[in-house]
Amino acid sequence: MSGTARELAERLNAVRKPGTALPVDKLRGPQETRGAAIGATRVHSLRLPGYVLSCEAILGMPSERLSIRHDAGESATPYVAGTLLAVRRVGGVTGLVRGLDTLLFGP
């Protein structure tokens, strides 16, 4: 599981109450298809050739779905700019900072 997926799941857990129509253990089908639990959020990971650096969040309610997706290509090139910004900022930080957004824009 990616750090992005874990971070998103943890943040979702902090701002909403979990809920499903049925408890996960009461659902039909193979247990392993239900993803990992990060708090009350289910996270699924794919590892496929040619499918790299992508993250998708799907939020749903009865009869509706919101999908947010980020595809960064086939290399880490899109992340280099953010890494360089972090390197420039980290010298002025004291203590632990979690997340590039916090490092760049503050809590």
Question: 74: pLDDT confidence band, cut at 50, 70 and 90?
Answer: confident
Of the candidates 62, 79, 86, 63, which has an alpha carbon nearest to the alpha carbon of residue 2?
79
The residue extents of the domains of the chain are 76-107
DSSP conformation class of 48: B
* CA dist., res. 40 & res. 31, Å (int): 16
**47-67 pLDDT tens trace:** 777 766 778 888 877 899 989
Torsion-angle region of 14 (φ positive above 0: left; ψ -120 to 50: alpha; else: beta) = alpha
- Note the pTM of the prediction, 2 decimals: 0.57
pLDDT of residue 22: 66
